[in-house]
Each structure stands twice: as C-alpha cells, then as structure tokens.
Amino acid sequence: MAVKFDEYVIREVLMSDNQENQSKVQSKTIVFSLGVFFSFAMHLFVPNQGGVGLALPFNAFSSLALIMTICIGAIFLVRRNLITYNNVTVGLFISCVLISAPIFYENSVGFNAFYRLVGLWLGFLLFFILQQFLNEDKYINKVLVLIVISSYIELLISYSQLFLRLKYVDFSSVVPTGIFQQPNVMASYLATSFAISMYLMAENKGKYIRFLLYAFPFFSLPILIVLSSRTGWLSLVLVLLTLTPYFISKQSKKSIFIWASSFFLGILSGIYIASIDQSLAERVEFKANTESDVRLNLYKQSFDMFLDKPIVGYGLGRYNSEYILFTAQKHFEEPTYPVGMENMTHPHNELLYLAVEGGMIPIFGVALAIIIILNCLTRKGLVISLSIFGLLIPILVHSQLEYPFYHSFPHWVTFIILVFVASRNEGVCKRLYLNNATKLILSLSAVVALSVSLFYIPKSIHTKYLIDKYVGSERRNISDLRNIDASFFWKEEYNIQLYTSVLGRGLAKGDKELLKQYITWASSQAKKTPRSTLYKSLIISYQALGDYKKAEAIRNLSQQLFPDKNFSNVNYQAYLK
C-alpha cells in the first residue's frame, strides 16, 4: 500500500508540475502576442486620406493582431479545459450587453454601428483572456512595459517627423503626431505611457527597464509640449497629482532625484524646441490662451437631443443625420440657438454619444462598469487606488473631450489592459470546466474568426488604399476607380467617388441619364449623411435637367438644414462658367 501511495503522490506532483509549466508557456505566449501588437502592428503605416476606425490602416493592422491574440487564448482554453471568472467578469459582461442593447431598437442602423460593437466585444474578450492567463504580476508588468516601449517607438517616429520631416507617416501637420495622425490622440497615448512609467518605477527593479522608465519624461515631455494638446496637458497634470504619492512612497531619494531631473530637463527641452520654430511657438501660445465655445455648444446640443428622447434615443448609427435635423429645427424655432456643424459624427463626449443614440440603457451599462471598477479600487488602499486610477485618467479624459476609441484602436486595447490592472485579484474565482461541445464551439469560432480576419482586414486595407490613391491623384481616371473591387469593402466611400465622377460627366455632356443616376444616389446619401455639398450638387443637377421647381425646393430645404451656408448663388449657369 505504501508503494502504491508513493506512486500516486509522485504522479500527482508530476501532473501538477506539467500543468504549471504549460500555464507558464501559455502566459508567455499571450504576452508575446501582445508584444507583436504594441511593438509592430500598431506602428504600420499605409498612405491614406485620414478618417477614423479601419480607414486608418494602423487600426486595421492592430485589430488583426488583437484578434490573433484572442484566438490563441481561445485555443489555450480548449487545451486547458477550464475557464475562471469572478463577479467582475460577470458584471462587465452585463455592462457590454446593456451598451449593445440599442442595436435591437427599431430605429437603429445596424451597419453603421457594426464596427463599434465588434470593437466593444473584442475589448471584453481581451479582458477575459487577460483574466485567464495574466494573473501574475510579472506578466502584466511585462505588458505594461510593452506599452511604454510602443510609446518610445512613436517618439522615434515623432522626432523624425519633427527634425527630419520623415515621410513614414504623411506629414501635413505642423506638429509631430506619430502614427496617430492627430495631435490629441498622440498626446493622450503619451500621457498614458507617462503614467504607466511612473507606476512601473515601483514595480520593476531591472536595470535596463528602470533606465527606460527614468528616461521617459525626458523624451516624452518635449513632444507633449509641442503637440499643444490641452487634453494632453490636463491629463499630465492629473497623472502627476494621482501617481506622485505612490511614486514617492516606493522610491529612494536618489531615484526621485534622477526622475525629477529627467522631468525638468524634458520640460526645458520642450520649451526650447517650441521656441526655435515660429509655427510651433505660435501654436503653443494659441492653445494655451484660447478658449472655444464650439465644444460647449456641441455638448449643449447633444444633451438637448438626449432630453428630447431619453428612453430609447435616436438609434445607433444615426447621430450625424439626427443631429443636423435636430439643430436645424431648434435654430428655426429659436434663431439664437447654435447652428449645427455638418461634419459632426460624434459629440466629442462618449457618454453623450451613447445617450443620444441609445438612451438610458447604455448609460446604465457604463454606470455599472464604473461602479465595478471603483469598487475594485476602493479595496486596494487610498494611495495605490489613486495611482491605478491615474493610469486610466488620460484616456478617460480624452474620451469625454473627443473620440479616441474610434480614432485609435491601440487606445482601446490599452484602456482594457488598464481596466484589467484595476480589477485584478478581486473576488473569489469560480471555475467552469468545458465539455466537448463547448470545446468544439470554441475551437471552430477561433479558426473561423481568424480565417475571416486574415481575409477581410488585408483586403479592406488594400481596397481603401486604392480608393485613397485615386482621391489623392491629380489626374483621376474613372477606369482606375471601376477596376477597384468595392462590392463589400468601403462601398460608401467608393460610391462617393464614383457618383462624383458621374455628376461631373453628366453636367459636362448634358447627359440626363447620368444626372438622374446621380440624383437617385445623392438623395439617398443625403438622408444618411447630410452634407451641404450634396445639396448644392442636387440643386445644380435638377437645374441641369430643367426641373427648376424641384431645384428651388432643395435650395429651401438646404438653407433650413444649414442656415450658416449660402445657397442663393448655387446655379447651373455659374457652374458652366
């Protein structure tokens, strides 16, 4: 019996060691895959005409890298035959369901909100995968270091743009924006990495890692200054207020002195760089002293929209069209009411965006997520809670002033990782063993998701590149456009270019059939995305067809929708001249 018992113990120990080794390999693989995301995928550039979401190629490459990470995690779960979860997992799942619920409303335009909801659920799946494999401090700290390294890569690009006028990213801006192509987006990412670098100073003792963390203020602050981003500046101040107590409590006087020296040298370098370039100096001064009522007007208009339909909202994917109609009606009733801005697809505040389109239910979802995270933080002690909350501040602030999650997928991924950091080690983990059917579904889902992504995303990038190349060319040949396969990818952008060409040829040749084709498309497009240029083209098209009554009706409607525009001089004869 004793021999059998010893054999049993040895077998159990060996199995336990094998599982532990397997778990370490899986955790390291997830960290490596995130390393591919932060050190490679998010920095890839393809020439483009700007935009948001997948219109920016670095977002497409980033989303493909994240999907690969999630699929790898799913395969590991199948092999492990076990998932773990806690109350935070369940609570955030319910939060995502509530935020997604308006897609089922009758007034929602599902296709317009499709990518947004895909991004939301990819974020939840990333959080879930992190819970499964990165519960040890050493692994999550490595991921945080990767975020800092990604900022170093962006700083390298930014300094090259600033001093070498590097064309790796099309450089039309006065300030260096890295891969992000927008100053505030670059600023909030750097501010987030700045916060992470302060936090990691207390967590990392490695010589080379600490050198990177010591040096980060020196290299990042000059770019933060010349970016002239008030969002970035505000975030940086709040980061210092929330992380300094924790930072000081964990550092020796020597470490504090070295870091403070790096900080002040970075400030002085930034001021010097801004001062030697007249355009940069003027921008910094303008941003520091300018106050704008535009954003306040936008918030007021959007909040009025929410009050108009507080229960179910206007429907997902309908903000832009409903915003133009609402503000036009309000301005007509009350001439002092601010005129709507025609290109406004987002109220520059994420909570208002969710409230206007979805009503109260998605707001309840956000509120639930906030309560869950705050509850996790309050259990960690005041100083550490403040420091972890400080990690979230730059992206949180930015999300209430613009729309970073739509402009930059790395912002969303970084935010989810930081939410995971805030929620770690909370609650009793429950275990759920997978049956064969569940393992089969998980395996097939991972394979299908990865296969579709490997086909769809590169094809999407290529199609958008060809369309943008056509738009940017000096001599546009319609045959080049017709050779682009846009049957599924970027159909709306393709049609805009196609029917703009149709209009030009119809007016030049007096071809009534072409003009009628344009009118049919433009009338439908104007309902989805109202633009003054579309209405001007419709006025001219109807005049060219000799339908002056319809042209005047469109002119009157246009003037009501865009009261700050002048449509009185829009006519076919002036176009011919």
Secondary structure of 100-165 as H, E, C letters: HHHHHCCCCCHHHHHHHHHHHHHHHHHHHHHHHHCCCHHHHHHHHHHHHHHHHHHHHHHHHHHHCC
Q: How confident is the model at residue 380 (pLDDT cuts 50, 70, 90)?
A: confident
Max CA distance (Å), the chain: 105
- Give the mean pLDDT of the chain: 88
Q: What is the pLDDT of residue 2?
A: 46
What CA–CA distance (Å, rounded) separates 144 from 1? 51
The C-alpha angle 199, 200, 201, rounded to 5 degrees, equals 90
What CA–CA distance (Å, rounded) separates 507 from 541? 8
Q: What is the pLDDT of residue 103?
A: 92
Give tens-digit pLDDT for 97-110: 999 999 999 888 87
- Cβ pair 332, 564 in contact under 8 A: no
Between 406 and 476, where is the model more confident?
406
What CA–CA distance (Å, rounded) separates 354 from 365? 10
Which residues lie closer than 8 Å to 458 by C-beta, 6 or more apart?
Answer: 64
Calculate mean pLDDT across residues 31-49: 93
- Which contiguous run of DSSP H or E holds residue 85? strand 82-85
Q: Which of 265-279, 351-365, 371-385 has the lowest mean pLDDT?
A: 265-279
Q: What is the pLDDT of residue 55?
A: 87
Q: What is the pLDDT of residue 14?
A: 47
What CA–CA distance (Å, rounded) separates 341 from 322? 12
Between 576 and 34, where is the model more confident?
34
Distances (CA, A) of 170 to 174, 211, 294: 12, 32, 28
Give tens-digit pLDDT for 121-166: 999 999 999 999 998 889 999 999 999 999 999 999 999 988 887 6
What CA–CA distance (Å, rounded) separates 182 from 177? 6
- Bridge partners (DSSP) listed for residue 39: none
What is the pTM for the complete model shown?
0.92
- Bridge partners (DSSP) listed for residue 85: 430
Q: What is the pLDDT of residue 1?
A: 43
Q: Which residue type, as a one-letter code, is found at position 14?
A: L
Q: How many residues does the chain have?
A: 577
- Which contiguous run of DSSP H or E holds residue 332? helix 319-333
Give tens-digit pLDDT for 385-443: 999 999 999 999 999 999 999 999 999 999 999 999 999 876 668 889 999 998 999 99
Is residue 288 predicted with pLDDT exceeding 70?
Answer: no
Q: What is the pLDDT of residue 492?
A: 86
Q: Which of 16-20, 263-267, 328-332, 398-402 has the lowest mean pLDDT?
A: 16-20
What CA–CA distance (Å, rounded) separates 315 from 109? 7
Strand 82-85 to 430-433 pairing: antiparallel
- Cβ pair 176, 158 in contact under 8 A: yes
Is residue 180 predicted with pLDDT exceeding 70?
Answer: yes
Q: What is the pLDDT of residue 172?
A: 57
- Cβ pair 193, 150 in contact under 8 A: yes
Q: What is the pLDDT of residue 136?
A: 87
Which residue is listed with tokens 């991921």? 143
Q: How confident is the model at residue 477 (pLDDT cuts 50, 70, 90)?
A: confident
Closest Cα to residue 215, out of 265, 270, 272, 145?
265
- Under DSSP, the state recorded for 347 is -
Residue 475 has phi, psi (to 5 degrees) of: -110, 105
Provide the token pair at 487: 């049957």
- Under DSSP, the state recorded for 382 is H
- Cβ pair 92, 127 in contact under 8 A: yes
Q: How confident is the model at residue 480 (pLDDT cuts 50, 70, 90)?
A: confident
What CA–CA distance (Å, rounded) separates 172 from 162? 11
Q: Where are the alpha helices (DSSP H) in 164-252?
A: 183-201, 207-226, 230-250
First to last CA, the chain: 105
- Domain ranges in the chain? 490-576
Q: How confident is the model at residue 3 (pLDDT cuts 50, 70, 90)?
A: very low
What CA–CA distance (Å, rounded) separates 267 from 240? 14
Residue 518 has phi, psi (to 5 degrees) of: -65, -45
